[in-house]
Amino acid sequence: MAKNYFVELMSVGIDIGKDVFHLVGFDHDGRLVLRRKIKRLALTATFEQLPRCIVGTEACLSAHFVSRTLCGLGFEPRIIPAIYVKPFNKGQKNDYNDAEAIAEAALRPNLKTVSEKTQEQLDLQALHRVRSRLVSRRTAAMNQIRAFLIEQGITVRRSVAALRNSLEANLNNRSSELSLRMRRLILGLQQDWIWLYKRIEITTAEIKEVSETEPGCQRLMTILDIGPLISTAMVAAVGKGEAYDRGRDFAAWLGLVPRQSSTGGRTILGSITKRGSRYLRMLFVQAAQVIMMRPNNWHKFSFGKWLEAAATRMQHNKVVFALANKLTRTAWSVLNSGKDFDWKGKEIAAAI
């Protein structure tokens, strides 16, 4: 398989598929010298015969596994977000063109790449994804119970406790108005809801157990209103945050900065960009909303005076997202510095 021009390889782009990988390689003069399709199982055998070079992959489900495999073989893997690969795509959409675009993007020195996740990070990320799916299914079951009840003329207040406490009483008191089939359906949904609730509790307990042993999570939880869920989700997503130069970059990656549409020296800012991890952004926004609900506790935070002033001059939702941005920057500083949060100290404050 190996040929002499492989010695001149500068970069290789891999378009990762389910069973088949497409490879495109460039030499030092930018000429295309490698164009090949391989099976997933032949990845190691193929790259063992190639000279060591930069290997680019697009961020996807298998990217971290492929990166670890290639790193073990002595290559320099780079995981690139899909949004940064798109400008290099030429011609029609196909696997070889995608691989060529990845190979070109991998050579750009200023291009931001994704940090390779460890197996522990992937496991923790999987825990959060399972919990998020279970919560979504529980909410769907509850909403369907409410929908069936309201079709029968039975309304329940919008809270989990109200539905849990009044469901059986409503079914018993209005038994004459409900058919036997409808009653069985609602009771079946109630059993699904109870089962999902138990599964969520088990998964949450496992996440909390990880947070008690992971040093990065322990440091993050020294920040007020950041608990096991946010700390573990952040460690799973960014590790120690080495991919970012400062907290502002992390907040921008998370999509908590205004979208810019500036031209001709005019700065035009819109709504937030909503880039990056939607799940992690949601957790930080929820934490900011909880803080906003308790104005009596604002003095406990380092940004208490800023928050009091912002609440008087800005619309509520704008303050929430500005506060979420500040929380993400603080969290990154604590995680990256390797020190517990002390808002009276100057070292962490200077890094935000």
The answer to whether 94 and 24 have CB atoms below 8 angstroms apart is no
pTM: 0.87
The answer to whether 326 and 333 have CB atoms below 8 angstroms apart is no
| The CATH number of domain 4-106 is 3.40.470.10 | no
How high is the pLDDT of residue 91? 86
Q: Rounded to whole angstroms, how far apart are CA atoms 221 and 219? A: 5
Fill in the DSSP letter of residue 342: -
Q: Residue ranges of the domains in the chain? A: 4-106, 119-213, 215-351
Per-residue pLDDT of the chain (352 residues; tens, 9 = 90+): 445 445 578 999 999 999 999 999 999 888 999 999 999 999 999 999 999 999 999 999 899 999 999 999 999 999 999 999 999 998 898 999 999 999 999 999 888 899 999 999 999 999 999 999 999 999 999 999 999 999 988 888 888 888 888 888 888 888 777 888 999 999 999 999 999 999 999 999 999 999 999 999 999 999 988 999 999 999 999 999 988 999 999 999 999 999 988 888 888 888 999 988 999 999 999 999 999 999 998 988 888 899 999 999 999 999 999 999 999 999 999 999 988 887 654 444 444 5
The answer to whether 342 and 223 have CB atoms below 8 angstroms apart is no
Token readout for 318 is 């704008």
How high is the pLDDT of residue 347? 44
Q: Rounded to whole angstroms, how far apart are CA atoms 36 and 25? A: 9
Q: Rounded to whole angstroms, how far apart are CA atoms 43 and 223? A: 44
Q: Characterize 15-52 residue by residue with b for buried, 16 or more Cβ atoms within 10 angstroms of its Cβ, and e for exposed.
A: bbeeeebbbbbbbeeeeebbeeeeeeeebeeebeebee
